[in-house]
Structure 1
Amino acid sequence: MSLSLNQWTTRRWSVAEAVDGCVRHGLAAVGLWREKVAEQGLAETVRLVREAGLRVSSLCRGGFLTAGGLPGEEDRHAFARALDDNRRAIDEAAELAAACLVMVVGGLPGVRAGAPLPASGLSREPAAGGSAPCPPGFSRDLAGARERVAEALGVLAPYAGERGVRLALEPLHPVYCPDRAVLSTLGQALDLCQAYPPEQVGVVVDTFHVWWDPRLSDDLARARGRIAAYQVCDYLHPLPADVLLGRGMMGDGVIDFGPITRAVAGAGYTGDVEVEIFNADVWAADPNDVVATMKARYAALVPAG
């Protein structure tokens, strides 16, 4: 395994600055974000990465496949737009020769990431014997949302396969289930993969999201051939008010990285290891200092040996 900088860890850096930073710090790979690639321009990003001799360990992100209604409901337009955006993401990943396209599959329909629930205009008191009615566009049907993800995967996996792109389903910690990912465990993601060839659909193992799972060892053992990306950062305790920013530098939280890395290696993964951190203090620091700390903490805490 080789260390890779996920671009969001040094969020202030543009693609050009991140590529330059990787070269200066001796890293062989970079994980890119679509927003940053769009700012730099896709063609220019491809040129910069190739001239620097870097691998693109991942492109983040596709997904948010639960938009609109649920199967059988009227609103299919948002779902169609989500599929179109994911096709564009697949095309971008192909141009970048990315090892995978990370798929954050989306939360409950009608819940926007990080935003309050839509106002219902109704009393918050539940009806007798039931729960409060849902506001328009919002659904509490978790099983139905997962069905929508499976439906979308049936459309997108063949499209990705034709273009040599591997979709990487990322389970997120359950705290993000309402608004970001109705896949909460590695086992759920692996179950969805089984209908597709491993080179077409795999999984992301992100320590922040999976460290707590009592079935993690068993699921990593059955993930052989399916791990498309391995991402590391620490889980801070207590979490900040904005739980999205609870990802810390390795060693600043509660995760024991060695056993997870050994299990990932035992499942046959030999790809890059991305450090992906969402943290206001990390983002405010000098990106060069962040990368230097990242390299030191990775070497001390993450390898399987």
Structure 2
Amino acid sequence: MKFSRTSASRGAGSADVTGFYDDDTGSIQYLVADPQTRKAALIDVVLGFDPQSASTDASGVDAILNYARNEGLEIEWILDTHPHADHLMASSLLKDRLGKPNGIGAKVTEIAELWRNYYNMPDAFDPAGDFDHLFQDGDRFKIGELPVRVMLSPGHTLGSITYVVGDDAAFVHDTFMMPDVGTSRCDFPGGTAGELYDSLQAILALPDRTRLFVGHDYGTEYRTEPAWEATVAEQSRHNQHIGGGRSREAYVKQREARDATLPLPDRMLHVLQMNLRAGRVPAPEDDGNSYLKIPMNRF
């Protein structure tokens, strides 16, 4: 993990947000803290996974937990925005270690139904058993004394959610990318460009000063260091795909054309069958080992 960076609280009602960059997948993991109570939440934390050897690695998780401990933060929540296709989520591991509740969007149950078919595993996946909270659009809870509102933000997946924390931070996952890159793909099962456009517009309706924290960054030809924060105003004016008031029709045409050129993430078929279990590996078989099932010639 080469990069971490903190976006400091702006005062009352504003969170301290530390982003941790996962080098292998270009994912950003977040530690969100109420500076008054020192209570915190983890969002979209990555458990290392090597698709060549199908082995896991918790060193990145350890680094984030050590950082929280050194900062005197008490983690209250383990949160994910959606079942990720490019990295293995650390939700289950963190729940076991910390004894704190985990959560994800309620429509994960519909995503699980799609993937039972793709994996031909009709009895697989029980999100209600693996996640303590399945958040609905509009649900509210707190991190310390900071209010959190859940927004359903479909498009990338049918069940993606955004966490709006306090009065000036939103964790927008695979909707926006940085303004100089544009937006995220929406060609996975259950994703649609039209719904993604609507989700982007709903996020842009937040106050202009709201800090939007994205789920991924891979740099650009002109920017080699990863970045993950931009305001609503910056995204609205400068986003390469949607800035300046681009129409829904033009956006959908551009997004679908771009997605048609993209390969599957190299971890997708491995990690989704675990992420639909909150990152748990399948139960060991009679030889004591766990196994993954990979569909052939489906994608």
Larger relative contact order, structure 1 or 2 (CA cutoff 8 Å, min sep 6): 1
TM-score normalised by structure 1 residue count: 0.35
TM-score normalised by structure 2 residue count: 0.35
Higher strand share: 2
